[in-house]
């Protein structure tokens, strides 16, 4: 780990002042940043510890029905929000969820092994260096949203659930506050994969907001995650599915994919096809085909395309059956049984 200055701001304004300099990094839970610093991938000159700033660690329901989740809310504390809970609890381990924050979850870097290994060529870590993942081990590489420069997946489960529910990111920066839909917060890699998000240097996530309409999906919302082991593993393919049903028809559908794309992936064509359809195998098969219609394998990971289709069908099927009163012991497991 490189040496750094350590700054402890007490307010957002102090944090922004400390974070404005070149080479500054904000530290909250540390589960990703400290790991990256140990690997020598992140080498901040100044670490700004924002974990002690008060007021950013609350979940509030606003008068208009929006739910505002502070950036410093720990992942472990999201358990009361349907869909968000199942996605979050399917990620990482209890220890990591206790430390990791919502803001940090959105900003976590890819777990592509070539990104984490300074001896490998990686355009995301070192722009212009090349991409050793292509031609290498691609089991965890993306099949959607890739470019010739980068095939790394965005690893977040939480972000897939949030993007399905139209979440909005509140940001503070030197120029004041702004907000952006989560769907356009993360960038496609294109020819500049070093930039994961539209966040500008020095900017700080204050909160993530769920619109009031998200609550209308609460009765039919599930997250399903296929992975190499049934707990504590990143997704090979995952899907957040949420349905609004009325009179045996789907009024509105939300679908987002994780583990297969370079950013939290909203499947809008599939959503449009589901609207007005009767929930069932036929509609779900059609939606799953549409969700993966642009998928392109990298190396030997073509299996992920079929896997993702099946995960989508499973998630939609479970969502149609209804959100369980209590999460299964193994959240998001394709094998899990609801109680």
**Residues lying near another protein in the complex (CB under 8 A):** 1, 3-6, 8, 27, 30-31, 34-35, 38-39, 47, 49, 51-52, 74, 76, 92-96, 98-99, 231-232, 329-331
Q: Are 235 and 259 in contact (CB under 8 A)?
A: yes
Q: How far is the CB of 221 from another protein (least distance, A)?
A: 20
The token pair at 147 is: 């470019």
Whether the Cβ atoms of residue 312 and residue 291 lie closer than 8 Å to each other: yes
* Closer residue to another protein (CB): 52 or 280: 52
- Placement of tokens 């099927």 in the chain: 317
Q: Which two tokens stand for residue 183?
A: 């769907």
DSSP bridge partners of 49: 27
Question: 185 and 198 in contact (C-beta within 8 Å)?
Answer: yes
Q: How far is the CB of 328 from another protein (least distance, A)?
A: 8
Q: In this complex, which beta carbon is closest to another protein, that of residue 215 or of residue 230? A: 230
Q: What is the DSSP letter of 269?
A: H
Strand residue runs (E) in 139-248: 168-173, 176-181, 204-210, 221-227, 235-246
CA–CA distance, 157 with 90 (Å, rounded to integer): 7
Distance CA 261, CA 131 (A): 16
Q: Residue 104 Cβ, how far from another protein at the closest point, in Å?
A: 11
Residue 112: partners with Cβ closer than 8 Å, 6 or more residues away: 122, 124, 133, 140, 141, 151, 152, 153
CA 26 vs CA 17, 20, 65, 194, 209: distances in Å: 12, 10, 30, 18, 21
Assess contact for 26 and 52: CB atoms under 8 A: no
- State the nearest-atom distance from the C-beta of 150 to another protein, in Å: 23
Calpha distance 189→187 (Å, rounded): 6
CB of 155 to another protein, least distance (A): 14
Nearer to another protein, 13 or 329 (CB): 329
Considering beta carbons, is residue 99 or 164 the nearer one to another protein?
99
In the complex with another protein, the residue whose CB is nearer, 6 or 246, is 6
Q: How far is the CB of 339 from another protein (least distance, A)?
A: 9
Residue 79 or 305: which CB sits closer to another protein?
79
Q: Please, what is the minimum distance in Å from the beta carbon of residue 275 to another protein?
A: 35
Residue closer to another protein, measured from CB, 82 or 91: 91
Q: How far is the CB of 32 from another protein (least distance, A)?
A: 9
Sheet strand arrangement including 176-181: 59-61, 67-70, 204-210, 168-173, 176-181
Nearer to another protein, 216 or 231 (CB): 231
């Amino acid at each position: 780990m490189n040496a750094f200055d350590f700054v402890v701001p007490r307010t957002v304004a102090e944090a922004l002042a400390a974070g404005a300099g070149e080479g500054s990094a904000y530290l909250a839970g540390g589960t990703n940043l400290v790991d990256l610093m140990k690997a020598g991938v992140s080498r901040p000159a100044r670490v700004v510890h924002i974990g002690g700033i008060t007021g950013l660690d609350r979940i509030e329901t606003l008068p208009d029905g929006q739910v505002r989740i502070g950036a410093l809310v720990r992942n472990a504390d999201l358990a009361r929000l349907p869909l968000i809970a199942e996605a979050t609890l399917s990620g990482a381990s209890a220890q990591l969820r206790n430390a990791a924050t919502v803001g940090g979850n959105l900003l976590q870097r890819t777990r592509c092994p070539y990104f984490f290994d300074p001896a490998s060529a990686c355009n995301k870590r070192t722009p212009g260096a090349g991409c050793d993942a292509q031609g290498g081990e691609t089991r965890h590489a993306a099949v959607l949203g890739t470019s010739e420069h980068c095939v790394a997946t965005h690893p977040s489960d939480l972000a897939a659930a949030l993007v399905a529910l139209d979440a909005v990111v509140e940001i503070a920066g030197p120029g004041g506050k702004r907000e952006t839909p989560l769907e356009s917060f993360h960038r496609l890699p294109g020819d500049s994969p070093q930039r994961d998000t539209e966040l500008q240097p020095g900017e700080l996530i204050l909160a993530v907001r769920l619109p009031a309409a998200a609550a209308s999906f609460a009765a039919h919302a599930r997250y399903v995650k296929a992975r190499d082991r049934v707990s504590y593993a990143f997704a090979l393919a995952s899907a957040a599915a949420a349905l609004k049903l009325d009179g045996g028809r789907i009024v509105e559908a939300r679908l987002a994919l994780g583990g297969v794309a370079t950013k939290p992936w909203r499947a809008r064509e599939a959503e449009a096809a589901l609207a007005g359809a009767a929930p069932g195998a036929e509609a779900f098969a059609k939606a799953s085909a549409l969700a993966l219609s642009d998928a392109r394998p990298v190396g030997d990971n073509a299996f992920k395309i079929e896997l993702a289709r099946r995960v989508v069908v499973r998630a939609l099927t479970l969502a149609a059956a209804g959100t369980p009163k209590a999460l299964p012991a193994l959240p998001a497991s394709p094998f899990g049984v609801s109680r």
